[in-house]
Structure 1
Amino acid sequence: MNIDRKGILYAVAAYAIWGIFPLYWKLLAHVDSLEVLVSRVIWSFVFTYLFIIIIKQRQLLLEDLKLLWKDKKLFLSLLSASFVISCNWFLYIFAVNNNHVVDASLGYYINPLITVVFGMIFFKEKLSKLQISAVIVAFIGVLSLTIGYGEVPWIALLIAFSFASYSALKKQITLNATRGLVIETLFMLPVAIVYYIYIMSTNKATFLQLNWQTDLILVLGGIVTAIPLVLFANGAKLLPQYVIGFIQYMTPTIVLVLGIVLYKEPFTKTELISFMFIWLSILIFTFSTIFETKKRIQLQQKTVDLDL
C-alpha cells in the first residue's frame, strides 16, 4: 500500500467516525448536554494523556508546556482555542440531542467556506474569483433558509463559526495534534471538575447515579473523541490539502442522511433549496481549490525547469 492510499484511509476513517457521532451522542440524550460536554473534556484528557504515555511522548508534552509558559501569545491562542472547541462540542451535542441534526450538518457544510473567509480577513489570504463566488452562493443558501424559517439558523451558524474560529486559532499553533488536544482539555479540566463537583453535590449529575451503561458511554466519550483526531493527524500529513478538503464533506453528508433517514427530522422544500445552494457552492469551491493547486504545482515545476 503506498503513502497516498494510507493517507486516504486515515482521512476517510476520521471523517466517517465524525459523521456517525450523532449515533453515539444520541445514546446520551437522557443526560444534560452540559454534563456530556464536561464528561467529554475530562475523559478526553485522561485517554489522550494515557496515549501520550504509551507512545512515549510525555517528555515532549512537558516541553510543549514549557514553551507555552514562555510564549504568552501562544499560550493565549491555545487557551482561546480550548474555549472555542469546547463551545463547538457543546453546540454539536446540544443539536444532536435536541433534534437539530440537520442543522448540525448545515453547520459543517458551510464551515470550510467560513474558514476561507477568515483566512482572507485575518491572514490576508487572497481568494480567487471562483472562491468568492462559492462564498456568495453559500450566503444565498443560508439567506434562503433564514427567509424560509422566518428566523436565522443560529445553531448551524454558531457551529460553523466556532469551528472556523478554532481552525484560525490553531493555524497559529504549531503543536502536535494529539499533544495539543491534551493541553486544550487540560485548560478546560479545572472548570469541568468544578462543574461536576457542583452537579454531584446538588444531585443533578447522571454519572454514577443512573446505570453502568450510561457511565460507560460517558467514559468512552473520551476515546471516541481522541481516535478520529489521531487518524486525521496521520492522514493530513500524507495528503494534499485539497484532498483533505474534499474528503471532509463526508462528515456533514453522513450527518444529514442520519438526520433525515434515521431520526426523521423535517427536510422540506425550504431545506432542499438552501442545501442545493450550499452543495453548489461546495462544488465551485472544490473545483477552484483543485484548479488553483494544479496551477501552483505547474508554476513551481516551470520555475524548477528554468533553474535547471
Structure 2
Amino acid sequence: MKLSKYYFAALVSFVMWGFFSLALKPLHIYPSLDILFYRVFFCAAIMAFVSFFLRRGVLKDSIQLFKSLPAGKKQQTALLILGGGVLLTANWFFFIYVMNHISIKAASFAYLVCPIMTTVIAFFVLDEKMGKWQWIAVSISIMSCLLLSYDSIADIGYSLIVAVSYALYLVSQRKNHGFDRFLVLTLQIIFSALLLLPFFPAYSGPVPAEASFYGYILVIAVVFTIIPLYLNLYALQGVTSSVMGILLYINPLMNFGLALVYFHEHINNVQLTAYSLILFSIIVFNERVLFRRRREAIVQ
C-alpha cells in the first residue's frame, strides 16, 4: 500500500497518542480532576480561537446548514453534539484516573478492547453487521478480560469503564454527520468546559504554582489532544475506516511497551497471557483486511 499523505497523517496521530503517558505521568501528584479541568479549559480556549477566528468561513457555512435543517434534525444534532461532549469528558477523566492511580497497563488495555467493544455496541445500537471472524475475535477478547479479572478485578473494571465511555462516544458520533468535524469537536469541548466550570471552585485543589504543571498541560492540550485529533480528521478524508481501525492499536501497544520498558511496571504470566490473547484477537478481528492485502500483494 502506498504511504499516502492521509495514511501518514493517521500514523503520526496514533504514534503521538502512544507517547501520551510521558506527559501525563509526571502529573500524577495532582488530582485527576485538576488535570481534567485544566486540559479541557486549555483545549476549549485554543480550539475556540481557531474555530471562531481562523476558520470563520467554516463556522458561517455550518450555521447556515444548521438553520436549514428541519426542527427534528436540529434537535438530534444538538443532542449528539452535547451528549458527545459529556461522553468525551467522562472518558478523559476515567483515562487520567486509571493512568495515574491504577496502572498504565490498565489504561492501555482499555484502548485495546475499545475498537472491538465499539463494533459490538454498534451491532446492537446501529444494526451494523459483524462477520464470523469478528465474533470469534470478540469471544477471544472476553477470555482475556476474564483472565485479567481473575488477576485483578479492579483493573479490568476500570479498563472497561474507559473503553465503554469512548466506544459510546464513537458510536453516537457515527450518526452525527454533515458538519465540519473540527467544529463539532470544538463545540463538544466548549460544552465540556461549561459543564466542568461550576464544579471547578468546589472540587479543584489549590491553584498549581509550578510552571511545569502548566507546561505539561499545554503540551497535553496541543500535542496530545488538538493536533492528533485534527490529523485524525484529516486522515479520514482519504483513508478507509478499516485502515484507521488497525492503526488505532498503535496507541495502546506503545503505552503497554512504555509501561514495561520505561516505567518498569510489573507484569505477571496471567497478564502476559491476557494481553497476548488481545493481540491475537486484533489479528483475527482484522483478518479480512490484513490477509486480503497479503493475497493482493502475492497476486501482484
Which TM-score band applies after superposition, normalised by the shorter structure?
0.7 to 0.9
Alignment of 1:237 with 2:237, yes or no, is: yes
Contact 1:111/1:161 (<8 A) preserved: yes
Task: Name which of 119, 124, 147 aligns with 2:122.
Answer: 119
Stretch moving more, 285-294 or 259-268 = 285-294
- 2:94 aligns with 91
Contact 2:106/2:155 (<8 A) preserved: no
| Cα distance in 1, alignment partners of residues 212 and 68 from structure 2 | 40
- 1:147 aligns with 150
| Cα distance in 1, alignment partners of residues 117 and 96 from structure 2 | 21
- 1:59 aligns with 60
| Cα distance in 2, alignment partners of residues 182 and 42 from structure 1 | 12
3-state SS of paired residue (1:104): helix
3-state SS of paired residue (2:175): coil
- 1:26 aligns with 25
Task: Name which of 161, 186, 190 aligns with 2:190.
Answer: 186
- Please report how far the alpha carbon of residue 216 of structure 1 lies from its aligned counterpart in structure 2 after TM superposition: 3.0
| Cα distance in 2, alignment partners of residues 211 and 68 from structure 1 | 48
Could you say if the C-alpha distance between residues 240 and 190 of structure 1 is closer, same or farther in structure 2, counting changes exceeding 3 Å?
A: closer
Contact 1:137/1:277 (<8 A) preserved: yes
- 2:287 aligns with 287
Structure 1 stretches lacking a partner, 5+ long:
295-308
Q: How does 1:200-219 map to 2 (within 5 A)?
A: 204-207=205-208, 210-219=209-218
Contact 2:42/2:221 (<8 A) preserved: yes
3-state SS of paired residue (1:153): helix
* Superposed CA RMSD: 2.5
Alignment of 1:11 with 2:16, yes or no, is: no
| Cα distance in 2, alignment partners of residues 141 and 83 from structure 1 | 29
Structure 2 stretches lacking a partner, 5+ long:
295-300
Contact 2:62/2:180 (<8 A) preserved: no
| Cα distance in 1, alignment partners of residues 68 and 105 from structure 2 | 41
Q: How does 1:154-193 map to 2 (within 5 A)?
A: 154-174=157-177, 175-193=179-197
| Cα distance in 2, alignment partners of residues 68 and 97 from structure 1 | 44
1:46-73: CA deviations, max 9, x gaps?
1112222224433245447757995112
1:125-148: CA deviations, max 9, x gaps?
121111110101111111111123
- Please report how far the alpha carbon of residue 24 of structure 1 lies from its aligned counterpart in structure 2 after TM superposition: 1.0
- 1:47 aligns with 46
- 1:38 aligns with 37
1:5-57: CA deviations, max 9, x gaps?
20121001110111111111113222211011111111111111222222443
| Cα distance in 1, alignment partners of residues 153 and 40 from structure 2 | 35
* Letter paired with 1:76: L
- 1:80 aligns with 83
* Letter paired with 1:282: I
| Cα distance in 2, alignment partners of residues 114 and 292 from structure 1 | 23
Aligned-residue identity in percent: 22
Contact 2:20/2:220 (<8 A) preserved: no
Could you say if the C-alpha distance between residues 26 and 206 of structure 1 is closer, same or farther in structure 2, counting changes exceeding 3 Å?
A: farther
| Cα distance in 2, alignment partners of residues 265 and 65 from structure 1 | 49
Contact 1:196/1:205 (<8 A) preserved: no
- Please report how far the alpha carbon of residue 173 of structure 1 lies from its aligned counterpart in structure 2 after TM superposition: 0.6
Question: TM-score normalised to the size of structure 2?
Answer: 0.88
| Cα distance in 2, alignment partners of residues 164 and 233 from structure 1 | 17
| Cα distance in 2, alignment partners of residues 24 and 97 from structure 1 | 11
Question: TM-score normalised to the size of structure 1?
Answer: 0.86
| Cα distance in 1, alignment partners of residues 69 and 35 from structure 2 | 28
Could you say if the C-alpha distance between residues 221 and 192 of structure 1 is closer, same or farther in structure 2, counting changes exceeding 3 Å?
A: farther
| Cα distance in 1, alignment partners of residues 102 and 68 from structure 2 | 42
1:89-130: CA deviations, max 9, x gaps?
111111221241000111100101111101210111121111
* Letter paired with 2:207: T
